């Protein structure tokens, strides 16, 4: 296949991938949803949708989201690293069976787990709290797989030398494994952060108190209330459109994780390649 044909195909793929976010950005500046040429749309753009957003509430929702997602990602990364270390460097009865059960659990639809998780959280007294939103996010099977693959590449002689010098198992984990797995830590933090960031249904079920709502739930409640006569209901004189507000909310929701990925993409890509077992 000609080199220019390959370049053309890649350009078409990139353009196809960019069309949805570009249309979303365009719609966020439109007071009425219309599908027109982006160059012609410039003359019809307005900041009305952006000005209509409840930024005081959004800042509170972002604060709650960063707290929930930050704590969840750190604790989930720690549990994934410990489990990956155990699967990679220790031999015990049923090791392979337990590991494959972790992998099989990734195939279970998340909606099937809502009821048992809800009952556990309610019986533990964590309903309608940050703890109730965070607790189910602490186990991330895909993260255990990446950690096991990555740590298994580290020479076992380092741990043996540390044991001879009198180091405990946790000291080996803390002072040998952790410093050698910075790219893995970066990708686990990203994946667990994103997994929690997009948990709309679980956070909606557990967090009924408006003061602890996350950005995903808060924006959903805001958009749902636009046509119900509430505080932010759209009136006939409002210079905004429902589609424009939905597009604006989507962009606001996507900005924090996008910023995190841009800042740490070098570590994320390195961790993904090495965690998958590729040179």
pLDDT digits (tens, 9 = 90+) for 183-231: 888 888 888 998 899 888 898 889 888 889 999 999 988 888 776 666 6
Q: Do residues 54 and 25 both lie within one domain?
A: no
CATH code for the domain of 249: 1.10.3720.10
Residue 116: give the domain boundaries: 49-275
- The whole-chain average pLDDT of the chain stands at 84
In a shared domain, residues 146 and 199: yes
pLDDT tens-digit map of 56-81: 999 999 999 999 999 999 999 999 99
Res 272: pLDDT: 59
- So what's the pLDDT on residue 62? 93
Which pLDDT does position 30 carry in this prediction? Answer: 81
Residue 165: CA count within 13 A, CB half-sphere: 9
Residues 36 and 70 in one domain: no
Q: What is the pLDDT of residue 277?
A: 46
3-state secondary structure of 164: helix
pLDDT band at 278 (very low <50, low <70, confident <90, very high): very low
- Domain shared by 31 and 53, yes or no: no
Alpha helices in the chain (DSSP H): 3-28, 38-41, 48-52, 55-89, 95-105, 114-123, 130-134, 141-151, 156-164, 169-172, 182-197, 200-206, 215-224, 242-275
152 plus 237 within the same structural domain: yes
Q: How many domains does the chain have?
A: 2
Do 177 and 81 meet the contact criterion of CB atoms below 8 Å apart? yes
Residue of 207, 183, 194, 219 lying closest to 54 (CA atoms): 219
**Do 174 and 206 belong together in one domain?**
yes
Q: Are 84 and 144 in contact (CB under 8 A)?
A: yes
Predicted TM-score of the model (pTM): 0.83
Residue of 259, 241, 254 lying closest to 50 (CA atoms): 241
pLDDT band of residue 39 (cuts 50, 70, 90) is: low
* Nearest alpha-carbon partner for 221 in 236, 237, 239, 203: 203
CB atoms within 10 A of CB 21: 13
d(CA 149, CA 154): 10
Q: Do 137 and 55 share a structural domain?
A: yes
């Amino acid at each position: 296949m000609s080199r220019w044909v390959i370049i053309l195909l890649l350009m078409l793929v990139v353009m196809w991938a960019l069309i949805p976010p570009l249309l979303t950005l365009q719609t966020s500046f439109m007071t009425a949803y219309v599908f027109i040429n982006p160059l012609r749309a410039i003359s019809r753009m307005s900041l009305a949708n952006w000005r209509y957003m409840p930024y005081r509430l959004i800042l509170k929702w972002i604060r709650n989201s960063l707290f929930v997602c930050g704590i969840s990602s750190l604790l989930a990364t720690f549990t994934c690293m410990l489990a990956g270390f155990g699967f990679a460097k220790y031999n015990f009865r049923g090791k392979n069976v337990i590991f494959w059960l972790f992998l099989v659990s990734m195939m279970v639809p998340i909606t099937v787990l809502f009821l048992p998780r809800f009952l556990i959280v309610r019986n533990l007294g964590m309903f309608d709290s940050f703890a109730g939103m965070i607790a189910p996010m602490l186990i991330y099977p895909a993260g255990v797989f990446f950690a096991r693959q990555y740590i298994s590449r580290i020479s076992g002689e380092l741990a043996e030398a540390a044991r001879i010098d009198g180091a405990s198992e946790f000291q080996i984990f803390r002072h040998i494994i952790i410093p050698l797995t910075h790219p893995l830590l970066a990708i686990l933090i990203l994946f667990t952060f994103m997994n929690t960031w997009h948990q709309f249904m679980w956070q909606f079920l557990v967090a009924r108190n408006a003061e602890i709502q996350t950005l995903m739930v808060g924006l959903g409640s805001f958009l749902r209330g636009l046509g119900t006569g509430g505080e932010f209901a759209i009136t006939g004189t409002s210079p905004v459109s429902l589609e424009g507000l939905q597009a604006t909310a989507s962009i606001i929701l996507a900005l924090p994780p996008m910023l995190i990925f841009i800042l740490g993409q070098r570590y994320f890509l390195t961790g993904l390649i090495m965690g998958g077992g590729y040179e």
